[in-house]
């Protein structure tokens, strides 16, 4: 897998160039532990140059485009993403360690985000407001200006699609700082934007370390909006930096999302969702479902069926395209294993299998299903970010709501039940930004607003809602009396 661009460079003002410090960072293949290349170690000087290039774009060609012209560029970019389908899928699978089919799904999602936001660019409208005689009042949705985007390593393409796609559609100029662990597709996306004809400076990409390039971006006074996906701890720092410059910030910080299985649920239908939502991308998914709450009457049945599914899970290198790939890094593997050490062996119900021939340097952890814990146990409260799910029994609806809402997070929840009244009651009572009834995740849901409450963050991405977030509302009151 050799990228068609030079990943040791930064992309600023429409040009590939060496970073200011001239140094690079290693990029590791999580399936083998081997170095697969180097990326630029961008720092505050590159971020400053990128913000200046973005400001120049807003004053120049990019800022002069109509909404329809911006939309057309995004549609073209989506086409180029699709034309590079195999290369992007292989790049993401190798860089992130995700099974090839899951990486292919991410390419499809990225192309779809470009298509959705390309089509939406010229359909965001203001309002006219009835007011006093002699006035005409209307609202305009304007770009913030330069927007800063910090994305993590777990779904680079999807997160770039939803964040950069919406920001560009609204006419912002973007500076993107991808994660140091996985950023090849972010760089590929920059080059495809260049090929699509985006004017210089509309999109700038500066890889580097979080506390260097990332912190410089969040602190830069030229940045008018920040969008961050990552950990709660870093989210706090990003929000504090945004407070310093008084700019709006969107935070998407993960979760401990529950699926609630009631005694009247269609368990045949639920089963693949119960398991996949926990092990997809090796559990390194912000909206992973790491808690499975089951009404006591059906606890034995669901436990046994999930255990059977777990015993069939196979773990190996990304390109072998099994159920589960490696974790992103040795550090992430250590975190997950230290969580697993908190469980008593008697509480481990079933585990998947790491293939014997999986490369020894890869960061593999067998998926693990746990039961018998108190809902307050750390394994049932904290985001593990690995292929680990906890089964928790509940007695009735009240008990289910109490347990489901009993963590600091609130990203996603789902209800499996054939009782329509219960579905509606719980959709209201569950503390989450998205509630799924008899499904989980809605296959990615590019069109569906997404984001959390509590420690899961605030602000909404995806769907039309993101377009409102990436614009500032201006009210115009004209007096003609």
For residue 447, the minimal CB distance to ligand TXE (Å) is 20
For residue 262, the minimal CB distance to ligand TXE (Å) is 28
- 19 counts as catalytic: no
For residue 288, the minimal CB distance to ligand TXE (Å) is 9
Could you say which residues in the range 301-330 bind ligand TXE, by CB under 6 A? none
Three-class SS string for the chain? CCCCCCCCEEEECCEEEECCCCCEEEEEECCCCEEEEEEECCCHHHHHHHHHHHHHHHHCHHHHCCHHHHHHHHHHHHHHHHHCHHHHHHHHHHHHCCCHHHHHHHHHHHHHHHHHHHHHHHHCCCCEECCCCCEEEEEEEEECCEEEEECCCCCHHHHHHHHHHHHHHCCCEEEEECECCECHHHHHHHHHHHHHCCCCCCEEECCCCHHHHHHHHHHCCCCCEEEEECCHHHHHHHHHHHHHHCCCEEEECCCCEEEEECCCCCHHHHHHHHHHHHHHHHHCCCCCEEEEEEEHHHHHHHHHHHHHHHHCCEECCHHHCCCECCCCCHHHHHHHHHHHCCCCHHHEEEECEECCCCCCCCCCCCCEEEECCCCCCHHHHCCCCCCEEEEEEECCHHHHHHHHCCCCCCCEEEEECCCHHHHHHHHHHCCCCEEEECCCHHHHCCCCCECCCHHHEECCECCCHHHHHCEEEEEEEEECC
- Judged by CB under 6 A, which stretch of 13-21, 118-126, 176-184, 363-371 contacts ligand TXE? 176-184
Choosing from 90, 252, 353, 461, the catalytic residue is: 252
Q: Is there binding between residue 238 and ligand TXE (CB under 6 A)?
A: yes
Residue span 370-409 as binding mask against ligand TXE, x where in contact by CB under 6 A, dash where not: -------------x-x------------------------
For residue 109, the minimal CB distance to ligand TXE (Å) is 15
Q: Is there binding between residue 469 and ligand TXE (CB under 6 A)?
A: no
Q: Is there binding between residue 220 and ligand TXE (CB under 6 A)?
A: no
Choosing from 19, 174, 286, 353, the catalytic residue is: 286
Residue span 132-171 as binding mask against ligand TXE, x where in contact by CB under 6 A, dash where not: ------------------xxx-x-----------------
Q: What is the CA radius of gyration of the chain?
A: 23
Q: Is there binding between residue 179 and ligand TXE (CB under 6 A)?
A: yes
- 252 counts as catalytic: yes
How many chain residues interact with ligand TXE (CB under 6 A)?
26
Residue span 331-350 as binding mask against ligand TXE, x where in contact by CB under 6 A, dash where not: -x--x---------------
- Judged by CB under 6 A, which stretch of 129-137, 192-200, 223-231, 351-359 contacts ligand TXE? 223-231
For residue 155, the minimal CB distance to ligand TXE (Å) is 7
Paired residues of 40 in beta bridges: 24
Nearer to ligand TXE, 154 or 227 (CB): 154
Residue nearest to ligand TXE (CB): 210
Residue span 246-285 as binding mask against ligand TXE, x where in contact by CB under 6 A, dash where not: ------xxx-------------------------------
User: Which of 102, 229, 280, 417 forms a contact with ligand TXE (CB under 6 A)?
Assistant: 229
For residue 150, the minimal CB distance to ligand TXE (Å) is 5
Pairing of strands 314-315, 353-354: parallel
Nearer to ligand TXE, 61 or 382 (CB): 382
Q: Which residues are catalytic?
A: 252, 286
Which residues in this chain contact ligand TXE in the complex, by CB under 6 A? Answer: 150-152, 154, 177, 179-180, 210-211, 214-215, 218, 229-231, 234, 237-238, 252-254, 286, 332, 335, 383, 385
């Amino acid at each position: 897998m050799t990228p068609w661009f030079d990943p040791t460079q930064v992309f600023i003002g429409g040009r590939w160039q060496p970073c200011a410090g001239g140094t690079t960072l290693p990029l590791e293949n999580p399936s083998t532990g081997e170095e697969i290349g180097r990326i630029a170690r961008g720092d505050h000087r590159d971020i400053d140059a990128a913000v200046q290039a973005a400001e120049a774009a807003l004053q120049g060609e990019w800022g002069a485009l109509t909404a329809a012209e911006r939309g057309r560029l995004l549609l073209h970019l989506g086409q180029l993403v699709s034309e590079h389908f195999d290369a992007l899928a292989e790049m993401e699978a190798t860089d992130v360690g995700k099974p090839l089919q899951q990486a292919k799904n991410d390419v499809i999602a990225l192309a779809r985000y470009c298509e959705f936001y390309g089509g939406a660019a010229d359909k965001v409208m203001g309002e006219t407001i009835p007011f006093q005689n002699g006035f005409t009042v209307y609202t305009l949705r304007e770009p913030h200006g330069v927007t800063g985007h910090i994305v993590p390593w777990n779904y680079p393409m999807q997160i770039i699609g939803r964040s950069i796609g919406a920001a560009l559609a609204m006419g912002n100029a973007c500076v993107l700082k991808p994660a140091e662990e996985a950023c090849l597709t972010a760089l590929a996306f920059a080059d495809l934007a260049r090929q699509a004809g985006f004017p210089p400076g509309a999109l700038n990409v500066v890889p580097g370390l979080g506390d260097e390039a990332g912190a410089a971006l969040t602190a830069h006074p030229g940045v008018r909006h920040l969008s961050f996906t990552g950990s709660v701890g870093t989210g706090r720092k990003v929000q504090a930096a945004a407070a310093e410059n008084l700019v709006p910030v969107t935070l998407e910080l993960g979760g401990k999302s529950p699926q609630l299985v009631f005694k009247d649920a269609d368990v045949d239908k639920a089963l693949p969702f119960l398991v996949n939502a926990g092990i997809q991308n090796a559990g390194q998914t912000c909206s992973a479902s790491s808690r499975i709450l089951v009404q006591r009457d059906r606890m034995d049945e669901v436990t046994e069926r999930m255990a059977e599914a777990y015993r069939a899970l196979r773990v190996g290198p990304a390109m072998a395209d099994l159920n589960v790939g490696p974790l992103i890094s040795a550090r992430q593997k250590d975190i997950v294993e230290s969580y697993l050490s908190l469980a008593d062996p008697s509480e481990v119900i079933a585990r998947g299998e790491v293939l014997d021939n999986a490369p020894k340097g890869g960061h593999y952890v067998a998926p693990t299903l746990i039961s018998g814990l108190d809902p307050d146990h750390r394994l049932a409260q904290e985001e593990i970010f690995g292929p680990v799910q906890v089964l928790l029994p509940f007695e009735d609806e009240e008990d289910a709501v109490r347990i489901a809402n009993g963590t600091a997070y609130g990203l996603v929840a789902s209800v499996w039940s054939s009782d329509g009244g219960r579905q509606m009651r719980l959709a209201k009572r569950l503390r989450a930004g998205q509630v799924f009834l008899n499904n989980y995740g809605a296959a990615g849901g590019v069109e569906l607003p997404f984001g959390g409450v509590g420690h899961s963050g605030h602000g909404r991405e995806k769907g039309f809602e993101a377009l409102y977030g990436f614009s500032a509302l201006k009210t115009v009151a004209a007096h003609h009396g």
